Structure 1
Amino acid sequence: MAEHDHEVIVVATFIAREDKADEGEKFLRKIVAPTHESPDCLLLALHRALDDPNKFVFIERWVSRETLEASYETQVFKSFIQDSLAYFDGPPEITLCAAVPDGQPSKGSLAGASSSS
């Protein structure tokens, strides 16, 4: 399997504009269900920072970098990013990661016991 065929982990951070955090959270929740419908999305979970209520973080797992990048080309995603600017201080900061599983399979990877090296 080529390196680009491995699962990719995404950490996407959004910073809400002043007084827009609650509206921003509602906006972000709207993308969860449609993204979960994609067979290439293995995980999409939204989090709100405990120390900064204006910071939201998506943790995602995708089948491959190619399938993730293909999702970025959809009109749904393009509209989502454009519309997000009404609530957030710019586009999200996106970090792409490869899993480095270690220790107990159920605790050492977002993939849990299904993780392979």
Structure 2
Amino acid sequence: MTVVVTAIFKPAPGRKDELVEAMRPGIAAVHEEPGCELYAIHDAEDGTITMLEKWSSQADLDAHAKGPAVALLNKDIDGLLAEPVLVTTMSPIPAGTDLQGAL
């Protein structure tokens, strides 16, 4: 079963653009990881950067969390956050159509 994750990054004051640029190499590295179906950042209206992730399995997500791409991302964003990243892991509850009812 797939696993969906949100990760909310609160930039330090005046550092949002720098944070986004610093995230790019790590995101590209994650896209190469087994099981990564979606790993995309979004500019949220509250000033945060929100990552939406979709993984083929919990095992793939677990490997990702311990892997070199996350280490790179964490290194690159060091000093650019106002607070720790808020990560939420979810299991889809399909509803409606197959195409639109689950991420």
TM-score strictly above 0.5: yes
Task: State the distance in 2 between where 1:58 and 1:20 align.
Answer: 17
Secondary structure at 1:9 match in 2:
strand
Whether the 8 Å CA contact 1:85–1:91 is kept in 2: the answer is: no
Partner of 1:37: 32
What does 1:20-99 correspond to in 2, within 5 Å?
Answer: 20-49=15-44, 51-53=45-47, 55-99=48-92
Residues 9 and 93 of structure 1: CA distance in aligned 2, closer, same or farther (over 3 Å)? same
Higher relative contact order (CA 8 A, sep 6+): 2
Aligned pairs, how many?
103
Structure 1: runs of 5 or more not aligned:
1-5, 111-117
How far is the alpha carbon of 1:90 from its aligned partner? 3.4
Structure 2: runs of 5 or more not aligned:
none
How far is the alpha carbon of 1:73 from its aligned partner? 1.2
Task: State the distance in 1 between where 2:72 and 2:34 align.
Answer: 21
How far is the alpha carbon of 1:81 from its aligned partner? 1.8
Task: Kindly name which structure, 1 or 2, has the bigger radius of gyration based on alpha carbons.
Answer: 1
Whether the 8 Å CA contact 1:11–1:57 is kept in 2: the answer is: yes
Task: State the distance in 1 between where 2:25 and 2:56 align.
Answer: 22
Give the TM-score taking structure 1 as reference length: 0.79
Task: State the distance in 1 between where 2:98 and 2:62 align.
Answer: 28
Cα RMSD (Å): 1.5
Matched, 1:104 2:97: yes
Secondary structure at 1:95 match in 2:
strand
